[in-house]
Amino acid sequence: MSHLLEVCNLRKHYQRGGGILTASGKGERFAAVDDISFFVAAGETFAIVGESGCGKTTLARILLRLIEPDEGKVLFEGTDLLGLSPKDMRTYRRQMQMIFQDPFASLNPRMKVGEIVAEPLAIHEPQLPRTESLAKAGEILQRVGLGEDALPRYPHEFSGGQRQRIGIARALILKPKLVVADEPVSALDVSVGAQVLLLLRELQAELGLTYVFISHSLPVVAQLATHIAVMRAGQFVEFGPAEMILTAPEADYTMELLAAVPELPRNPVV
């Protein structure tokens, strides 16, 4: 398998607000991402697991260049994204999409669902007629378990699980190669989250997607991951094949994460 994504020596520092002042009078600096390297093969799910504040969301946003790192490289199909101009980055951005954590906050409440799902087409394929964009939106909504009748409705008319499906449809309408899923089920109850995980697994098999999956829960990523990295204070404390991390972890912190959350049902029913 070829490497779709390769990350080399990423670092990102922030100023700690309102905390200890250094001799220069500025807040203490800390590393949100501290010398992280890994690669993801096409078709895999690389899960990054750690507690809140460990740097995993910062890392996810650097991968899509929503945040610029201080150092390092992000290679997508061999091209360093961090060296691209905004115009050239736009070409790659359609191949890399994100599913956000909060299905309530990530959807514009003033837009109809059809407009929300078709919005990436309006940005990347502005020449496409509106009727064709909405038809494509209807198709992908159907694939994620919502019918075309969702198109004229507003986000507030849907449950949390349905809203996350709308977010997934929006991420997939451009047929990306890489999807970064940032805690996509943490705002949902366990049974609804299990349904969404099953959907993501089905879509991966059907569309040949590659996932970078961010979570605070090892039992959640166990449903999807081929490889797992356990992150703490900006660094990977261990990473490797999912089975190895889940059954024979070496780091004490990994063992704590495994013990902390009850496991999801193995075969959730949609």
Tell whether the model's pLDDT for residue 267 goes beyond 70.
no
Strand order in the sheet with 79-80: 29-41, 3-15, 71-76, 79-80
- What are the CA-CA distances from residue 96 to residues 12, 176, 236 (Å)? 21, 5, 23
Q: Which is it for strands 210-215 and 45-49: parallel, antiparallel or unpaired?
A: parallel
Domain ranges of the chain: 1-95+181-262, 99-175
Q: 92: buried, middle or exposed (CB in 10 Å: 19+, 13-18, 0-12)?
A: middle
Interatomic CA distance for residues 203 and 253, integer angstroms: 32
The model's pLDDT over 155-187, given as tens digits with 9 standing for 90+, comes to 999 999 999 999 999 999 999 999 999 999 988
The CATH architecture annotation of domain 1-95+181-262 reads: 3-Layer(aba) Sandwich (3.40)
Tell whether the model's pLDDT for residue 1 goes beyond 80.
no
Tell whether the model's pLDDT for residue 265 goes beyond 70.
no
Q: Structure pTM?
A: 0.88
The model's pLDDT over 15-44, given as tens digits with 9 standing for 90+, comes to 876 555 555 556 678 889 999 999 999 999
Crossing angle (nearest 10°) for helices 160-172 and 130-143:
120
The model's pLDDT over 54-97, given as tens digits with 9 standing for 90+, comes to 999 999 999 999 999 999 999 999 999 999 998 899 889 899 99
Interatomic CA distance for residues 181 and 185, integer angstroms: 9
Contact yes or no for 9/41 (Cβ under 8 A): no
Find tokens 């910062």 and name the residue.
Answer: 58
Work out the pLDDT band at 219, boundaries 50, 70, 90: confident
Which pLDDT does position 268 carry in this prediction? Answer: 44
pLDDT mean over 119-129: 92
Work out the pLDDT band at 261, boundaries 50, 70, 90: low
Which pLDDT does position 40 carry in this prediction? Answer: 96
Work out the pLDDT band at 131, boundaries 50, 70, 90: very high
For residues 172-181, one letter each, b for 16 or more C-beta atoms within 10 angstroms of the residue's C-beta and e for the rest, the string is bbbebbbbbb
Q: Which stretch of 2-6, 9-13, 39-43, 142-146 has the lowest confidence by average pLDDT?
A: 2-6
The letter for the amino acid at 74 is: V
Interatomic CA distance for residues 72 and 68, integer angstroms: 10
Which pLDDT does position 262 carry in this prediction? Answer: 56
Tell whether the model's pLDDT for residue 121 goes beyond 50.
yes
